[in-house]
Structure 1
Amino acid sequence: MRANPLPLLTGLVLLTACSGGGGSAPSAAAPSPARSSIPAPSASSTPPSTPSTPPSSSPPNAGKVIVLDPGHNGGNSTHPGEINRKVPAGRGETKPCNTTGTSTNAGYPEHAFTFAIAQEVGNALAAKGIRVVYTRSDDSGTGPCVDKRAEIGNSAEADAVVSIHADGATAASAHGFHVAYSSPALNAAQGEPSLELARTMRNTLRDNGFATSTYVGSAGLSARSDLAGLNLSTRPSVLVECGNMRNATEAARMSSDIGRTRYAEAITQAIEDYLTSS
């Protein structure tokens, strides 16, 4: 997700080589109440009280709100004027509204990868009663700008915001995922809540067989002060760089249905684990 603002005279949310550096099993059904072994009362005895009907069970995180932010958009390359427009980026800085994102050497674009992952994660969460809000509803539009993406999470009062990206590091040997969080924190949500979300995401991806980055951050975590979506957030927020699209192994995984499902299942599990523990 390396930043790659377009020249205004040529057509070409958050980054191009995205870092700038370079499910769970269904819950078991509740058991039926056991039959009473108490004998029927005699006419003179007091009838036993009728047992109350147990409340219907609901998923533990039902009603919570998750904002999923699939990086970039499919129409960004055809709207250079809009994409290059400067917007607030936090910490007194401005940045281009958005960028085109990166792609594999074979041409599979980051914006398509991130949108596919977000849809799969969102469907899995919604099936468990979690309210899912997306920062974009298709992969053919433009933007939204990075400041607007942060605003969507803030307005939704999200319990967590997860921005999904893939990197485009120049070195093909560079590989692995990393999870970025805002640092130094600008508000309480960017402190321990975002750190806990980042650690949970890192741990879950790692436990599901994904290697941590060999070229950005430390042990899969990356403290960032330059990412507008994180800087402007007032909700627990992270940005997940799923891997390097210029690395042959990771590019093949990201380009396949099976590989994308693996990413989506791990991200879904991490979000559920965070919601349960927070």
Structure 2
Amino acid sequence: MKKLLLLLLCGVFHTNAQTKVDSTRIVRVLSFNIYHGETVGADKKFDLDLLASIINNEAPDLVALQEVDFKTKRALGYDLATELGQRTKMAPLFGKAMPYNGGEYGEGVLSKYSFLHTKNHALAAGEGKEPRAALEVNVQLKSGDPIRFIGTHLDHTRDETDRINQAKQLNELFATNDIPTILAGDLNARPDSETMGILFKQWQRSDAENTPTAPASDPRAKIDYVLFRPANKWCVLETKVLCNEKATDHCVVLSVLQLLD
């Protein structure tokens, strides 16, 4: 019922009271699995300008990047977060999940705001599983309000055990206070999964329609999300899913949120 009320109030607030929309409190958020920077298809190459153009076209304030390589042989020695930061004129940050292929592999965040505080959190992983991370940044909006933004990528294997444990850990880390927080990423879990059930106890989803996000060529599964909390601190103004089957194997999720009084 709280969620229904929130969405109804947001709808009235946004459509019938345009003058009350505070542009200094609006946050454009992108979740983007970049497939370690390599284009998809037979002509695989590293077209970082293509990835940057997808970001630039949506003019986000904050971007959560997944499958980010840092100076690996696979990614031709690129520091992908920094390269995309330069191409988008956004502040870049990389968070290591594990060593890989002569470099590192993990999460990235791009921000139009300077970072007040950052922390990379290692997430639970079973024996023999890929380590995962949640990259946290704290920024200050134009209004002066501080918010917290987390980018993450949960376990991808068929066994849901790690995802369930990682979801519980995210709640323990970030759902114990009322700091306005946005969590974005490739969660590798469908909306009706136990993993998402755990997260939905503490987080609201920006896309109530559960629009499919993977694979990019023919989306059938909703596994990429923008979530937020607390519910009474945020209003969803817009959410859309953008698919470019050459750039990556996931669709991009854009959500426009407004921080409320």
TM over 0.5: no
- More RCO (CA 8 Å, sep 6+): 1
Of Structure 1 and Structure 2, the greater strand share is in 2
Max radius of gyration: which structure? 1
TM (normalized to structure 2)? 0.31
Of Structure 1 and Structure 2, the greater helix share is in 1
